[in-house]
Amino acid sequence: MSDQIISTEQDLAARFPDTVAHDERNGYQGYIVDKDQLVEVVTAIRDEYGFDYLSSVTGVDYLPEDSMEVVYHLFRSTGGPGLVIKTQTSRANAVVPSLVSVFPGADFQEREAWDLLGIKFEGHPDLRRILMWEGFEGYPLRKDWREAYYEEDSKPFKSRWPGGEVHRFEDANIFGKNVDYPAGFDPETWVPDQDSSLYGNLMKVDGHGSGLKTDQIIVNLGPQHPSTHGVFRMVVTLDGETILALKPVMGYLHRNHEKIGERNTFLQNMPFTDRLDYLSSMSNNFGYALAVEKLMGVEPPERAEYLRVIMAELTRISNHVFAIGMFLNDLGAYFTPALYAIEERELILDIFEATSGSRMMCNYFRFGGVARDLPAGVLDKIRNLVYERLPRKIDELDLYLSNNEILRSRGQGVGVLTPEEAIAYSAAGPVLRASGVPYDIRRADPYSIYDRFEFDVAVRYHGDVYDRYLIRIDEVQQSIRILQQAVRDIPEGPIQTGKPQYQVRVPAGESYGRVDGPKGELGYYVVSTGKPNPWRYHVRAPSFINLTAMEKMCVGDKVADAVAILGSIDIVLGETDR
Amino acid sequence: MDGMGIVKGLGVTFKRFVETYLDDIKWLGKRYYTEEGINHRMSADTRGVFTIQYPEEKLPVPEEFRYIPFLLYEEGENGEKIDRCTSCGICAKVCPPQCIWIVRTNDPKTGRPVPQPADFYIDVDICMNCGFCAEYCPFDAIKMDHDYEIAVYDRQTNNIYNKEKLSKPVSYYASIRPVNYSREEQARKEAAEAKAARRRGKQKSQSA
């Protein structure tokens, strides 16, 4: 394939003069593709230009222009900068061809855009709501849609200003206690329309053809199930114990983070990003800060960059040890490994608490720097951890678990995702790298100061559950290496560019900031119109998109393996459901 | 598949089991319910039991720890409370969940606003403890507290804090955040001196 790749310099608009145009709006980049030729152009981009990794699909509601835009961010799995393409459609009849046939990883993201923005993707095999409940009316991310408790389009709300009246937030609930059913509605007999189409799709699956006349059964794993790491449901079709088909059902923790984000000012979003992947808030802050800094054109000072890297890598360690512990829980090693792992996490959280004021909801990053410097003694604590304790403890964890026969037999050869599939399904982070694709944004498209550190991109080649466990140990070891260099080299100096400001001026335009978070590629797509609030704020959530490949991993394995596979993907529902 | 992996793993568990007792013996009962014991269990050298027996024991919170804002007042000579807050409204503006309300004072004669809040409310139910109000307050008038034990039986009536409940003396702030306090006092003093110097300069130029 590589010899067919046309050099990046060749202009896409020159290759498709009639259907592709440069996006010439101020502050925008990339190309606008005619929606009728979208599939053809994207296929060419994938096969000829080598952009084989579809990172993000999302929509933007341009209400004043009366148009709906779908934005695609594509990257090469070999590394390098990305390519942004967009396609436009009308708001009233928003229809765009689906890209699932080219990139299966677009599946859930298109469903999300349909659910929240009402963009219909023609040719999508299973276009149902994904985050909202099935009886929901309207498309909440559209700019003319208003939520319950609606006060104003943007914060700060006038009612809260000096002179406003105090009231309890709950008293503003327009539904009162909300326990009355409409006349003629019986919840006992009500069947949501969507359930039938969900189960209907699962019933169509062909069996393995074992010759025996066996019935297929559909089993709901979850939403209330201890192995789902939250409130998450998997509907599986079983033939005996073998999984024939699996559909994840999510959205039980949906709070429309993106709508909240569009009401907020740019700075007010920062503490809200903590609540996405609540186990690694520092990484969430990082990605959002990068996206907005790109728009603002500010760069943090040297010391702040080091602090950011230190915090992001400590987050990765605490997340991965926690993920390993919880994964072992899923395999039935009930809480002994988890608690061993959590000890190390606890010491890292102490550092976060001393620095940022909170253990998990850190809210530490600011545009152009970080909130405050390390208090006295904390750097020594970090040094002590990364030079002394952590390497020893990770080795102990490795000795404790990696050769355990039960773990190996539960993990090896189970839930296999091949490298081609991993790329096609837009898997990210440890899931992608465990499948033999050495794609790490810290190397492939370096941000912040990661190009200065010496570390290896962890990669494993089997793509099974066991490798997804091992890669987390590898990554922790590499993070320790980065941290050792960072605490050695960190300079003195300011931690913020300019004065701390609560009202930041963000020029009009779009930007996509992405970091390699502990769960995978965490991207923020931000559109600014120059106002204090973002026009569009989208989160490319790795936990959510990694689940797209869940069915692929599970089919053919036993139902008990689904639990292990889910544990090995390492999802957090705060981020999945947003 | 000879089971050696499991045996080695159990060896790790056994080692940690023994270490628990070794550490307990080494500390001779001082490991629990004492301040140095808690600090040791929080350090990177710790082995054995890691947990804190809350509420009998409590983890010390670091200075930067933030939980629910409070308002600072200076204690006057006769014990009167002088609010630092000028009701400028920056905290209400920057608050992400918008949980702050300020009632401004008006001069009874002129009807013009006076830089002092008549009342100050925080809806603790929706406060997300982000600390922006404290971070961006130009008068060091609102700060984040350390008291995290605020559970109540009746959230319907108890969770909107008014000015009376929120106000705490500056001396309390100095006790929970000594480093920040001395740094800010230094800055305030310098700013006041600079202001005084400017005023003197102005008066001089006026008299001349």
Contact criterion met (CB < 8 Å) for A347 and B42: yes
Mutation pick from B4, B65, B66, B98 vs chain A, by most beta carbons of A within 10 Å, is B98
Structure tokens at A429: 């982070």
CA distance A259 to A539: 11
Instruction: Beginning with the edge strand found earlier in the chain, give each strand of the sheet holding A216-221 in spatial order.
Output: A216-221, A233-239, A242-249
> What is the C-alpha to C-alpha distance for residues A411 and A406, in angstroms, rounded to an integer?
8
A316 or B118, which is more confident: A316
Considering only CB atoms, B44 lies closest to which of A169, A353, A385, namely A385
pLDDT of residue A180: 64
Q: pLDDT value at position A527?
A: 92
Query: How much is the pLDDT for A3?
Result: 39
What is the distance, to the nearest Å, from the Cα of residue B54 to the centroid of all Cα atoms in its chain?
20
Q: What is the predicted pLDDT for the residue at A213?
A: 65
| Candidates B5, B95, B179; nearest CB to A403 | B5
Alpha-carbon gap: B132 to the closest alpha carbon of chain A (Å):
8
In A, which residues are within 8 Å of B63 by CB distance? 354, 375
pLDDT at A524: 93
**Minimum distance, in Å, between the CA of residue B81 and any CA atom of chain A:** 21
Site of tokens 């390098």? A80
In this predicted structure, the answer to whether residue B63 has a pLDDT above a threshold of 70 is yes
pLDDT at B150: 87
Whether A375 has its CB under 8 Å from any CB of chain B: the answer is yes
Q: Of A317, A336, A400, which to mutate for an interface test with B (greatest number of B Cβ within 10 Å)?
A: A400
Nearest CA in chain B to A402: B5
Rounded distance between C-alpha atoms, residue A513 and residue A523, angstroms? 6
Tokens of A380: 């020594």
Give mean pLDDT, residues A234-242: 86
At A72 the pLDDT is 92
Tens of pLDDT, residue by residue over A397-444, are: 888 888 888 888 888 889 899 999 999 999 998 999 999 999 999 888
Q: Which helix (H) or strand (E) holds B190?
A: helix B178-207
To the nearest 5 percent, what fractions of chain B are helix, strand and coil? 40, 20, 40
Average pLDDT score over residue span B140-157: 87
Query: Do the Cβ atoms of B94 and A385 come within 8 Å?
Result: no
Specify the amino acid at residue A344.
E
* Closest listed residue to residue A426, CA positions, set A548, A577, A554, A555: A548
- Predicted pLDDT of residue A308: 92
Q: Do A405 and B8 touch (CB under 8 A)?
A: no
What are the residues whose beta carbons fall under 8 Å from the beta carbon of A294, sequence distance 6 or more? A511, A513
Interchain proximity A403–B160, CB inside 8 Å: no
- The separation between the first and the last C-alpha atoms of chain B, rounded to the nearest angstrom, is 98
CB contact under 8 A, B50 and A264: no
Decide if A400 and B12 are in contact by the 8 Å CB cutoff.
yes
| Band of pLDDT at residue B93, cut at 50, 70 and 90 | confident
List CB contacts (< 8 A) between A340 and chain B.
16
Quick one: which of A102, A80, A67, A81 has its CA closest to A30? Answer: A81
The reported pLDDT for the residue numbered A310 is 93
B-contacting residues in A 391-450 (Cβ below 8 Å): 396, 399-409
Q: Please check the confidence at residue B132 and state whether its pLDDT lies above 80.
A: yes
User: Which tokens belong to A461?
Assistant: 């080649």
Q: Which residues of chain B does A384 touch, with a Cβ-Cβ cutoff of 8 Å?
A: 44
Whether ipTM > 0.95 holds is: no
Chain B contact set for A375 (CB, 8 A):
62-64, 179
Question: What is the C-alpha to C-alpha distance for residues A498 and A105, in angstroms, rounded to an integer?
Answer: 41
Percent of chain B residues past pLDDT 70, beyond the cut: 97
Nearest residue in B to A384, CA atom: B44
pLDDT at B29 exceeding the cut of 90: no
pLDDT (mean) for A210-227: 75
What number is the average pLDDT over the span A334-352? 88
Mean pLDDT value of segment A452-456: 90
pLDDT value for A150: 76
CB contact under 8 A, B132 and A375: no
Q: Residues 269 to 298 of A: which have CB under 8 A from any B CB?
A: 269-272
Tokens of A88: 């436009």
Within 8 A of A537 by CB-CB distance, chain B residues are none
pLDDT digits (tens, 9 = 90+) for A135-182: 777 888 888 888 777 778 888 887 776 666 777 777 766 666 555 667
pLDDT digits (tens, 9 = 90+) for A485-508: 999 999 988 888 888 888 888 888
* Shortest distance, CA A26 to any CA of chain B (angstroms): 29
The residue of A311, A343, A358 whose CB has the most chain B CBs within 10 angstroms, and thus the best one to mutate to test that interface, is A358
Q: What is d(CA A133, CA A236) in angstroms, rounded to the nearest whole number?
A: 20
Q: Cα–Cα distance between A496 and A475 in angstroms, integer?
A: 29
Mean pLDDT of chain A: 86
Q: How close is the nearest chain A Cα to the Cα of B44, in Å?
A: 6
Comparing CB atoms, the residue among B44, B45, B96 nearest residue A268 is B96
pLDDT of residue A2: 38
Specify whether the CB–CB gap between A463 and A423 falls below 8 A: no
The pLDDT value given to residue A1: 35
B5: distance to nearest CA of chain A, Å? 4
Give the number of other CB atoms < 10 A from CB of residue B46.
18
Query: Sorting pLDDT into bands at 50, 70 and 90, what band is A10?
Result: low
Q: Is the pLDDT of residue A112 over 80?
A: yes
* Sign of the dihedral defined by the CA atoms of residues A503, A504, A507, A513, in that order: negative
What six digits make up the tokens of A200?
């209907």
Q: Enter the pTM of the model.
A: 0.88
Name the residue among A471, A445, A428, A481 with its Cα closest to residue A310: A481
Calculate the alpha carbon distances from B75 to A24, A33, B2, B130 in Å: 61, 67, 74, 28
A346 interfacial to chain B (CB closer than 8 Å): yes
Residues in Cβ contact with B129 at an 8 Å cutoff, skipping those fewer than 6 apart: A358, A361, B66, B67, B68, B144
- Which of A358, A381, A409 lies at the smallest CB-CB distance from B66? A358
Chain A: residue nearest B62 by CA? A354
Burial label for A126, CB within 10 Å (0-12, 13-18, 19+), is middle
Cβ atoms of A77 and A439 closer than 8 Å: yes
Q: pLDDT > 70: what percent of chain A? A: 92
Q: Give the per-residue pLDDT at A6.
A: 44
Is A223 in a helix, a strand, or coil? coil
Give the confidence band of A206 by pLDDT, cuts at 50, 70, 90: low
Are the Cβ atoms of A502 and B44 closer than 8 angstroms? Answer: no
Q: Smallest Cα–Cα separation from A389: which of A480, A490, A488?
A: A480
Q: Which of A151, A328, A362, A363 to mutate to test the interface with B (most CBs of B within 10 A)?
A: A363
Return the pLDDT at A164: 65
Q: How far is CA A569 from CA A327, A423, A499, A519, A566, in A?
A: 9, 15, 41, 8, 5
Q: Do A403 and B8 count as a contact with CB atoms less than 8 A apart?
A: yes
**A314 has pLDDT over 90:** yes
What is the average pLDDT across A477-486?
92
The top-scoring range by mean pLDDT among A337-346, B45-54, B149-158 is: A337-346
Residue type, A90: S
Q: How far is A298 from chain B (nearest CA, A)?
A: 20
CB contact under 8 A, B65 and A356: no
